[in-house]
Amino acid sequence: MDPAPWLVPAALAFGLVVGVGVSVAIMAAHRRGRSAVAVVTPAVPDGVDEVIDSLESAGVVLDSSNNVLSASTAALAFGLVWNNALVHPELVAIVDQVRRDGIPVSRELHLIRSPFGDTQLHVQVRVARLGTRFVLLLAEDRTESYRLDEVRRDFVANISHELKTPIGAIGLLAEAIESASDEPAEVKRFAKRLTIEADRLGRLTHEIIELSRLQAAEPLASAEKVDIDSVVAQAVDRNRVAAESHRISLVSGGDAGAEVYGDEQLLVTAVHNLIANAIQYSPDGFRVGIGVSNVDGVVEIAVTDQGVGIPESERDRVFERFFRVDNARSRHTGGTGLGLAIVKHAVQNHGGDVRVWSQQGSGSTFTIRLPEASKAPVPPAPAPSAGLSTPAALPAESSKLGATS
C-alpha cells in the first residue's frame, strides 16, 4: 500500500524545523561561550596599559577576582605584584573595600619590601574603580623621604652618644701633655694614648658616615650581577694579616658560582665585617669558616667561629648600633659597635637579611641571605625568629661565630 502523500512534505518540514533549531542552539552556545571567555579573561580598557607604563609611581589594574591584568615596572620592582596577584594583604583589603563601596580610598602604608627581611617600603596608595569591572591601584614610593628623616635623627643621636667620649679623652690628654711638658716619658706616654684615641675617633667617624650613607641610599640603585666567590675572596684577603697575627686559620668553601644583584664592594664590606668580628672574638690558634650555599634561589654566606658565643638574652640586640656584648673587650680591641649594624643595612639594601645562631662556649654563626640573581622573586613569608637560623652549608672544619664588633 502506498504511503499517504502528506508524509513526505511533513517529514521535510520536520527536518527543516529541527535543523533550524539546532543551528540556533549552536549559535547561542557560541555567543554564550564568547561571553564566558570575556568574563574569565577580561581585557584592560584601551589606553590603560600605555598610561600605566608612563607612570613614575607604581600602577596596577585588577579584575573582579583580584587578578592583576596590568602592572607597571615600578609595581614589579617594589614587590607589590607576584604571579599575577597582589602580594600584600593590606593592598588586597583596600581593593576589596573600594570594589564593595565604590568610593576611592587613599592611605599611607608601611609594607615589607623583601621576602627575606624587614626592610620597609613606605607608600602612599590610592585605589579607585576603573569602569564597572576593574579596580586601579596607584602607589607612590615615599621610602626615601622617610629614610632621610631617620638618617638625620640617627646621625644626631650617634654624634651625641658616641663621639663625645673620644673627643673628651683627646681634650684631657692634650691637657695632660701640656702639664707634663717637663717630663719626656710622660709626654711620650700621653702622646701614644692620644694617637690611639685619634685613631678610634677616625674609625668611629668613618663608620657613622658609612652607616648613614647606607641608610640614606636607594637600595640597588645601580645593581649589577655580583660573583659571590669574588666577594668572599676579597673579604678573606682583607682579613688575612689580622688572622695571621692571632694564628687563626681562615677556611672558605661551599657552592661555587653563585651570583646576586647588587653592589660588589658593599657586599665585600659586609662579609669583611663578619670575618673581622669572628677573628676578634676567636681564641688564638682556632679557625674561622666562611661557607657559601646556593639552594632554591637563596644564596647564603655563613661566617663561623669557635669563640665564647653570645648569651641568649643579647642575641636579638647584636645588630643594634653601638651595642657590644663585651664592652671591656671592645675597648681593648678598638671596636666601635657599628660593624654588625653596617652589615645589617648593607644586606637589607640588597633585599636580604642576616641571622645569628650562637651557643655559649661553642661559638656563633652569622648568615647573610640574598636572592639569587637568576631566580625570580618569591612572595614574602614570615622570617624565623632571630637566633634560630643555622647555616645550610659550611666548610667541614667550621662551626660557629663570635659577638659584635
- Is the Cβ–Cβ distance between 364 and 404 less than 8 Å? no
- Residue 198's pLDDT is 81
Predicted confidence band of residue 93 (pLDDT cuts 50, 70, 90)? very high
- Is the Cβ–Cβ distance between 305 and 282 less than 8 Å? yes
- Going by their DSSP bridges, the two strands 85-86 and 81-82 should be labelled as antiparallel
Q: Taking 50 as the threshold, does the pLDDT of residue 379 lie above it? A: no
Residues paired with 299 in a beta bridge: 294, 370
pLDDT of 207-248, one tens digit each? Answer: 666 666 665 555 555 678 899 999 999 999 989 988 998 899
Mean pLDDT rounded to a whole number for the chain: 76
Measure the CA–CA gap between 402 and 357, rounded to whole angstroms. Answer: 10
Angle at 55 between CA 53 and CA 61, to 5 degrees: 65
Domains of the chain and CATH, by start: 48-141 (3.30.450.20), 146-216 (1.10.287.130), 220-405 (3.30.565.10)
pLDDT of 304-339, one tens digit each? Answer: 988 888 888 777 778 776 665 554 444 444 455 677
Mean pLDDT of 385-397: 40
pLDDT of 54-86, one tens digit each? Answer: 777 788 999 988 999 888 888 887 888 888 889
Measure the CA–CA gap between 243 and 287, rounded to whole angstroms. Answer: 9
pLDDT of 107-154, one tens digit each? Answer: 998 887 766 556 678 889 999 998 888 999 999 888 777 777 776 776
pLDDT of 238-291, one tens digit each? Answer: 899 889 988 999 998 888 889 988 888 889 989 998 999 899 888 888 889 999
- Residue 311's pLDDT is 83
- List of residues 6+ apart from 362 with CB closer than 8 A: 306, 309, 399, 400
CB burial string 322-339: b at 16+ within 10 A, e below: bbbbbeeebeeeebbbbb
Sheet containing 58-62: order of strands:
68-71, 58-62, 134-141, 120-130, 105-112
- Residue 127's pLDDT is 94
Higher pLDDT, 368 or 391: 368
Q: What is the DSSP letter of 159?
A: I
Q: Which of 31-45, 49-63, 183-197, 365-379 has the lowest mean pLDDT?
A: 31-45
- Is the Cβ–Cβ distance between 59 and 71 less than 8 Å? yes
